[in-house]
Structure 1
Amino acid sequence: MSGRGEWTLVGRDDELKTIEDVVSARLPGLVLVGDAGVGKTRLLREALARAADDGVECHWVSATGAARSIPFGAVSHLIPAPTRPRADPVGLVVSVERDFARRTGDRPVVIGIDDAHLLDEPSAGLLHQLAVHGLAVAVATVRAGEPLSDALTSLWAGSGRRLDVRPLPATAVEHLLDEAAPGPLDAISRRRLTHLADGNPLLLRELLADAMDTGGLSESRGVWRWRGTASGSPRLAELVSARLRALEPAARRVLEVVACGEPLPLALLERCTDPAAIEAAERSGMAVAERSGARTALRMAHPLYGEALRASMPASRARTVFGQLVDVLASMPLRRRDDALVAGVWQLRSGTVRHPGIALAAARQALERFDIDLAERLVRTAYDAGQGWEAQWLLARVLQYQARSQEAFDMLPPTPPSGSKRLAIWAITRAGLLYWGLDRIDEAHETLLMVPEGAPGHDLTEATRSWVLFYDGRCEAALTVGQAVLNRSDTGVRAASWATMGAASAAGMLGRLGLAAELAEQGRAVLAAEPERLPWNEAQVGLGLCYARYAAGQLTGAAELADQGYRDAVASDARGMVAVWAGFRGIIGKTQGRLDAAEADLREAIALVEENDQYHLVRTYWAELAGVRALAGDLPGARRWLAAADARARAANRVFHPWVELNRAWVEVAQGDLTAAIRTARNAADLARDSEQPTIEAVALYECARFGEPEPVRDRLVDLADRIGGIAATLASAADGLASDDGPTLETAADDLVACGHTLLAAEVLGAASRAYARHGRPRVAVAQRAATLARECRSVRTPLLAADTPGVEQASLTRRERDVAMLAVTLPSRSIADRLGLSVNTVNNNLARVFTKLGVRNRKELAVVLGHDQPAAVAGHPSHSTVHSR
Structure 2
Amino acid sequence: MDRRGRTEPRGNRAGGDRRALDRPEIMIEDTGVVVGGGDVAEWPVTGREKETDAILSALASPGGSGVLLTGEPGVGKTSLADLVLDRCAEAGALIVRGAATEATREIPGVGIAGLHVVGGQDAPGGGPYGAAAGRVLIGIDDADQLDASSATAVGDLVRTMGARLLLTARSGARPDGALALVCGRGPLTVLPLVNLPRATVLGLLTHVLGGPVDGLTADVLWRITRGNPLLLRRVVGLGLDTGELSRGRGVWSWRGSPGGHPSLHELVAADLATFGEPESKTLEYVALTGSLPVSTFEHLAGAETAAELWRRAVVARVSGGGTDEVTMSHPFHRQALLAGIGPLRRRLRHRELVAAAAETGVPGADDPAAVLWRLEAGFDVPPSQAVAAGRRALASGDPGLAENLAQHVPGLPGELLRGQALIAQGRAADGERVLAGHGGDSAEMIALRSLNLFWGLSRLADAHEAVARARSSGTERSADLGVAELGLALFTRTAPPDARGAGTGPWPSPEPLNPLVADAATALRAYQLTFRGRPAQAAEAFDRGLLELPTRWPAMRGSTAACHVHALVLAGRIRAALALVETYYEDSVRRAEPSEVAMVGHVRGHCLMWAGRPKRALAPLREAWALVDEHTPFPMRVFIGCEYAVCLATLGQAEEAYRELDQLRALIPGDLGLRDRLEFSRIRLLAHSGRPAHAADLADRLADRYLHESRLTTGVECAYYHVRLRPSPRAAARLREAAGACDSPLFELFADHAEALAARDGTALRGVADRFAELGYPGLALESAAAAPGGGRTARRRLDDLAGECDGFRPPWLPHAAPSSPSSRASSPLTSREREVCELAAAGLSSPAIAAHLGVSVRTVTNLLGRAYGKLGVRSRRQLGAALPPSPPAEDAGDGAGGLR
Q: 2:593 — aligned with what?
A: 574
Q: Superposition pairs for residues 112-123 of structure 1, below 5 Å?
A: 112-119=139-146, 122-123=149-150
Q: 1:713 — aligned with what?
A: 731
Partner of residue 438 from structure 1, selected from 457, 460, 463: 460
Partner of residue 73 from structure 2, selected from 33, 36, 39: 36
- CA distance 1:584–1:351, shift in 2 (3 Å): farther
1: CA distance, partners of 2:100 / 2:818: 65
What SS does the aligned partner of 2:254 have?
strand
What SS does the aligned partner of 1:666 have?
helix
What SS does the aligned partner of 1:133 have?
helix
- CA distance 1:150–1:219, shift in 2 (3 Å): same
Q: Deviations over 1:315-347 (max 9, x none)?
A: 654565456546866998676899525865996
CA contact (8 A) 2:694 2:836 kept: no
What SS does the aligned partner of 1:617 have?
helix
CA contact (8 A) 1:622 1:641 kept: yes
Q: Superposition pairs for residues 10-25 of structure 1, below 5 Å?
A: 10-25=46-61
CA contact (8 A) 1:542 1:561 kept: no
- CA distance 1:704–1:402, shift in 2 (3 Å): same
Question: Is residue 2:43 matched to residue 1:7?
Answer: yes
- CA distance 1:591–1:252, shift in 2 (3 Å): same
- CA distance 1:541–1:441, shift in 2 (3 Å): closer
- CA distance 1:705–1:284, shift in 2 (3 Å): closer
* Displacement after TM superposition at 1:615 (Å): 3.9
* Displacement after TM superposition at 1:830 (Å): 11
Q: Superposition pairs for residues 788-827 of structure 1, below 5 Å?
A: 788-795=800-807, 797=809, 799-802=811-814, 804-805=816-817, 807-808=819-820, 814-815=829-830, 816=832
CA contact (8 A) 1:569 1:578 kept: yes
What SS does the aligned partner of 2:231 have?
helix
- CA distance 1:196–1:765, shift in 2 (3 Å): same
| 1:23 aligned partner, one-letter code | L
Q: Superposition pairs for residues 158-237 of structure 1, below 5 Å?
A: 158-181=186-209, 183-223=211-251, 224-230=253-259, 232=261, 234=263, 237=266
2: CA distance, partners of 1:330 / 1:806: 83
| 1:519 aligned partner, one-letter code | A
| 1:304 aligned partner, one-letter code | F
| 2:140 aligned partner, one-letter code | I
* Displacement after TM superposition at 1:643 (Å): 0.5
| 2:292 aligned partner, one-letter code | L
What SS does the aligned partner of 2:68 have?
strand
- CA distance 1:636–1:345, shift in 2 (3 Å): farther
Q: Deviations over 1:775-799 (max 9, x none)?
A: xxxx332322222333344347463
Q: Deviations over 1:285-342 (max 9, x none)?
A: 4335567687554333444333343345556545654565468669986768995258
- CA distance 1:544–1:311, shift in 2 (3 Å): same
What SS does the aligned partner of 2:167 have?
strand
Q: 2:797 — aligned with what?
A: 785
| 1:58 aligned partner, one-letter code | I
2: CA distance, partners of 1:398 / 1:111: 59
* Displacement after TM superposition at 1:139 (Å): 0.6
Q: 2:642 — aligned with what?
A: 623
1: CA distance, partners of 2:884 / 2:446: 62
| 2:531 aligned partner, one-letter code | M
Bigger CA drift: 426-435 or 325-334? 325-334
Q: 1:264 — aligned with what?
A: 292
Q: 1:739 — aligned with what?
A: 758
Aligned residue-pair number? 820
Question: Is residue 2:531 matched to residue 1:509?
Answer: yes
- CA distance 1:763–1:852, shift in 2 (3 Å): farther
1: CA distance, partners of 2:341 / 2:506: 52
What SS does the aligned partner of 1:74 have?
strand
* Displacement after TM superposition at 1:121 (Å): 5.2
* Displacement after TM superposition at 1:36 (Å): 0.6
- CA distance 1:631–1:43, shift in 2 (3 Å): same
What SS does the aligned partner of 1:58 have?
strand
What SS does the aligned partner of 1:612 have?
coil
Partner of residue 477 from structure 1, selected from 493, 497, 508: 497
Q: 2:872 — aligned with what?
A: 851
* Displacement after TM superposition at 1:14 (Å): 2.7
* Displacement after TM superposition at 1:544 (Å): 4.7
Bigger CA drift: 824-833 or 567-576? 824-833
Question: Is residue 2:156 matched to residue 1:129?
Answer: yes
CA contact (8 A) 2:69 2:167 kept: yes
Partner of residue 754 from structure 1, selected from 773, 776, 780: 773
Q: 1:884 — aligned with what?
A: none
| 1:800 aligned partner, one-letter code | P
1: CA distance, partners of 2:54 / 2:369: 48
1: CA distance, partners of 2:380 / 2:655: 54
Bigger CA drift: 402-411 or 557-566? 402-411
Q: Deviations over 1:512-559 (max 9, x none)?
A: 44433443356x25869x9x9998887676555434334445433433
2: CA distance, partners of 1:717 / 1:396: 45
Q: 1:394 — aligned with what?
A: 420
- CA distance 1:472–1:755, shift in 2 (3 Å): farther
| 2:806 aligned partner, one-letter code | C
CA contact (8 A) 2:364 2:370 kept: no
CA contact (8 A) 2:522 2:547 kept: no
* Displacement after TM superposition at 1:604 (Å): 3.5
* Displacement after TM superposition at 1:445 (Å): 6.5
Q: 1:880 — aligned with what?
A: none
2: CA distance, partners of 1:258 / 1:396: 25
Question: Is residue 2:664 matched to residue 1:645?
Answer: yes
CA contact (8 A) 2:732 2:754 kept: yes
* Displacement after TM superposition at 1:111 (Å): 2.2
Question: Is residue 2:561 matched to residue 1:549?
Answer: no
2: CA distance, partners of 1:696 / 1:338: 49
CA contact (8 A) 2:365 2:371 kept: no
* Displacement after TM superposition at 1:489 (Å): 8.8
- The root-mean-square deviation of aligned C-alpha atoms, in Å, is 4.8
**Any gaps of 5 or more consecutive residues in structure 2?**
1-34, 120-130, 887-901
CA contact (8 A) 1:463 1:498 kept: yes
Question: Is residue 2:712 matched to residue 1:694?
Answer: yes
What SS does the aligned partner of 1:191 have?
helix
What SS does the aligned partner of 1:786 have?
helix
* Displacement after TM superposition at 1:259 (Å): 2.7
Partner of residue 74 from structure 1, selected from 93, 104, 113: 113
CA contact (8 A) 1:188 1:575 kept: yes
Q: 1:673 — aligned with what?
A: 691
**Larger relative contact order (Cα-Cα within 8 Å, sequence gap ≥ 6):** 2
2: CA distance, partners of 1:288 / 1:492: 39
* Displacement after TM superposition at 1:642 (Å): 0.6
2: CA distance, partners of 1:800 / 1:323: 71
Q: 1:594 — aligned with what?
A: 613
CA contact (8 A) 2:403 2:417 kept: no
2: CA distance, partners of 1:169 / 1:338: 40
TM-score by length of 1: 0.78
Partner of residue 703 from structure 2, selected from 685, 695, 706: 685
CA contact (8 A) 1:115 1:142 kept: yes
2: CA distance, partners of 1:560 / 1:653: 33
CA contact (8 A) 1:486 1:499 kept: no
**Any gaps of 5 or more consecutive residues in structure 1?**
81-103, 417-422, 774-778, 869-887
